[in-house]
Amino acid sequence: MGFKRTMGLVGAAAMLATTGQALAADLSPQQDAVMAAAASQKSPWQIRVRALGVITEDSGSVDGIAGSDLSYSDTVIPELDITYYFTDNIAAELILGTTWADVKGEGSISALGTVGETWLLPPTLTLQYHFTNFGQFKPYVGAGVNYTIFYSQDGKNAMSDLDIENTWGAALQVGFDYMIDDNWGVNLDVKKLFLEPDYDITMNDGTKLSGKAELNPWLVGAGITYRF
């Protein structure tokens, strides 16, 4: 009986081992497929760091002064943007950066020279469509909204005070990423902001004036993309 029982246990163990191997063979392709699918899923988050040229329209006026005009200094600044992909094609991008501008009198008030200076914080949110059928070349278009905050404002020369109002504006965008691998790429991006804030000024003699600063800048950026 002992020998038969031993042989029975050995046989049962052999059957279990064979069954386990068969099950493992059946499950292995499924497990591999699940693992491959999980590995192929991309993170929805992406960041870019760009060098950004801010090129203004150079137009505006002072109410009540015929022939008055304004111009603004152009700048180059660093910029950070954060992108979230809802799908492979649809994404939202938040653009962050800050810059400054000298305000100069032009036209009939050109003799005033630089009349003020201000810093700008223009966070911009765009909704983008990304084209995905060009391989490593990934162009996109976008449209959205901008809210510009003016701070550290100072009057110069004949002007004792400058107050530019914070304002909303529309934004249009076009650009592309060229992905070097699954994570890293290079980026070129162009945005147009429609930005025309009202302002109030106080002259050194106490005279109060107002007008509109037609900035409407182009934002031209180039930098590095990282997809998590």
pLDDT digits (tens, 9 = 90+) for 161-201: 999 999 999 999 999 999 999 999 999 999 999 999 999 99
Distance separating alpha carbons of residues 204 and 145, to the nearest angstrom: 36
Per the structure block, which two tokens stand in for 53?
């040229």
Task: Choose among 73, 53, 82: nearest CA to 221.
Answer: 53
pLDDT digits (tens, 9 = 90+) for 121-159: 999 999 999 999 999 999 999 999 999 999 999 988 877
Average pLDDT over residues 100-127: 94
Distance separating alpha carbons of residues 11 and 62, to the nearest angstrom: 100
pTM reported for the whole predicted model: 0.80
- pLDDT above 90 as % of the chain: 74
Report the C-alpha dihedral over residues 3, 4, 6, 9, rounded to 10 degrees: 180
Contact 123, 145 (CB under 8 A): no
- Report the greatest alpha carbon distance in the chain: 120
The mean predicted confidence, pLDDT, of the chain is 88
